[in-house]
């Protein structure tokens, strides 16, 4: 779609407003709107100004002016606005130099796509994430100098089997048994279907939806793969749709990896493959039907996984999920079919077009533009340096003894460990100027000061149970 097409679409749909959306540094959509009378083809060249100092991790106040540059190919009608509103996803540029802003996550993803093309390795990187999330009925939390708490609830929660609900009808999924009984145990089929329908109206292909393993409304909706930047856009729409559909029903959605103690957390397995000239390059006659290039790509992911975690698992809560015993892929190995490995080679179809790898350690707090780009850069590093991933691990990793696991590396155990890994291992991200030293430093500084250190300063409720009588 061209700028001219967008202006025509505004008239055809009788839109009354245009909403400009862009991704902040950490991964949340920001937006502002204008009446359609303010929109013409010129805005696609001139952009619109905003205050960059108010966006997390961005400009200092003395250099705060920034421009949003709408991408006409992203035009869609927003399904949640009362009046017809056309939505445009934007790139960010400096108003003086007109250079694309290095801390704009979508710009980083665009550079990652350009880099793989410049290497000659491939021309398309297909990404297919599987974000999991919880649909809750209530969430309350707070922290101050003398108290701290959280309280969440779900009509599906196993903890509510004894609650007087006048009447309590039961059918609440047992812990770790939410995958995936039919209704009425699964009470959220219709909500998930509505989410899928809204995404299909936006032009995205949905492959399936279902209840996930945990009690209390854990869900998964899988999207058909798309090229990297398009999937970054799609993931933003995905979160937006899930949250707003739940809100329609008086419910709330969270993509926190581990909101429920003692049950499975939410991951975001990410399928990925490289293509060239319409040909899938990961198909071959090696292990799991994979090519030598695919195995080198796996080698790159495994080598840099500790640093990748800073982008793929970017919250302190991420590491409540990445612990043994809850199907979390903490051990850095690969295998065909084996879902306990950090990287799985799906074996659903013998078709070369279906050949891909599935990286299982990411979670949905990730900024998709950054996480997808970082994994691509690690995989490309593996291809360029012909990194050997070693042999596959086809056993149930969770049943292996410490002696059997001693030579299998693990994912970081905390966000600060992941950030330290990134500090010491990020040269592969700098190739092609995809990530910059400034982006890496800003990410580490922000995460350490605003999240890691902020958590360290506050007592945890369970510490009172452990230590109050010391």
Instruction: List active site positions.
Output: 51, 130, 132, 212, 220, 269, 339, 358, 360
Nearest to 439 by CA among 175, 74, 58: 58
Please answer whether residues 392 and 287 qualify as being in contact, where contact means their C-beta atoms are separated by less than 8 angstroms: yes
193 φ, ψ to 5°?
A: -60, -40
Kind plus residue range of the DSSP H or E element containing 349? none
Residue 432 has a CB neighbour count (10 Å cut-off) of: 16
Nearest to 135 by CA among 20, 11, 266, 315: 266
Residues 123 and 113: their CA atoms lie apart, in Å, by 8
Nearest to 359 by CA among 301, 280, 296, 307: 301
Nearest to 123 by CA among 290, 351, 278, 284: 278
Nearest to 364 by CA among 247, 146, 218: 218
* Sign of the dihedral through C-alpha 358, 361, 362, 363: positive
Instruction: State the alpha helices, DSSP H only, in 80-146.
Output: 105-119
User: At CA 441, angle to CA 436 and CA 445, rounded to 5?
Assistant: 150
Find all residues with CB under 8 Å of 401, minimum gap 6, and list them.
Answer: none
Residues 290 and 288: their CA atoms lie apart, in Å, by 5
């Amino acid at each position: 779609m061209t700028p001219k097409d967008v202006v025509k679409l505004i008239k055809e749909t009788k839109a009354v407003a245009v909403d400009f959306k862009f991704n902040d540094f950490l991964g949340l959509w920001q937006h502002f709107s204008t009446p359609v009378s303010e929109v013409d083809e010129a805005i696609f060249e001139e952009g619109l100004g905003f205050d960059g100092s108010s966006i997390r991790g961005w400009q200092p106040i003395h250099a705060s002016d920034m421009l949003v540059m709408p991408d006409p190919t992203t035009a869609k009608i927003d399904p949640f606005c009362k009046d017809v509103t056309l939505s445009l996803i934007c790139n960010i540029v400096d108003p003086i130099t007109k250079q694309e802003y290095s801390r704009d996550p979508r710009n980083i993803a665009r550079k990652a796509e350009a880099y793989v093309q410049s290497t000659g390795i491939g021309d398309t990187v297909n990404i297919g994430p599987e974000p999991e999330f919880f649909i809750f009925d209530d969430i309350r939390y707070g922290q101050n100098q003398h108290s701290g708490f959280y309280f969440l609830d779900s009509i599906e929660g196993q903890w509510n089997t004894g609650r007087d609900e006048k009447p309590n009808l039961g059918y609440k999924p047992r812990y770790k048994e939410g995958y995936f009984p039919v209704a009425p145990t699964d009470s959220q089929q219709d909500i998930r279907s509505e989410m899928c329908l809204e995404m299909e109206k936006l032009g995205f292909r949905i492959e399936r939806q279902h209840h996930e393993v945990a009690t209390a409304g854990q869900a998964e909706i899988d999207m058909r793969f798309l090229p990297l930047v398009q999937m970054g856009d799609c993931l933003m729409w995905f979160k937006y749709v899930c949250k707003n559909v739940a809100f329609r029903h008086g419910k709330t959605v969270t993509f926190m990896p581990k909101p429920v103690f003692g049950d499975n957390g939410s991951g975001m397995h990410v399928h990925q493959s490289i293509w060239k000239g319409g040909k899938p390059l990961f198909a071959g006659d090696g292990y799991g039907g994979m090519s030598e290039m695919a195995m080198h790509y796996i080698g790159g992911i495994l080598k840099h996984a500790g640093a990748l975690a800073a982008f793929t698992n970017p919250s302190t809560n991420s590491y409540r999920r990445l612990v043994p015993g809850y199907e979390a892929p903490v051990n850095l190995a690969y295998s065909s079919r084996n879902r306990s490995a950090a990287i799985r080679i799906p074996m659903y179809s013998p078709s070369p077009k279906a050949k891909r790898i599935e990286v299982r350690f990411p979670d949905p707090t990730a900024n998709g533009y950054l996480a997808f780009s970082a994994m691509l850069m690690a995989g490309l590093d593996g291809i360029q340096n012909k990194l050997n991933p070693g042999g596959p691990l086809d056993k149930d990793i969770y049943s292996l003894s410490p002696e059997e696991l001693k030579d299998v590396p693990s994912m970081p155990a905390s966000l600060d460990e992941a950030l330290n890994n990134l500090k010491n291992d990020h040269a592969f991200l700098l190739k092609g100027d995809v990530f910059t030293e400034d982006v890496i430093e800003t990410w580490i500084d922000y995460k350490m000061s605003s999240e890691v250190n902020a958590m360290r300063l506050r007592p945890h409720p369970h510490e009172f149970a452990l230590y109050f009588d010391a």
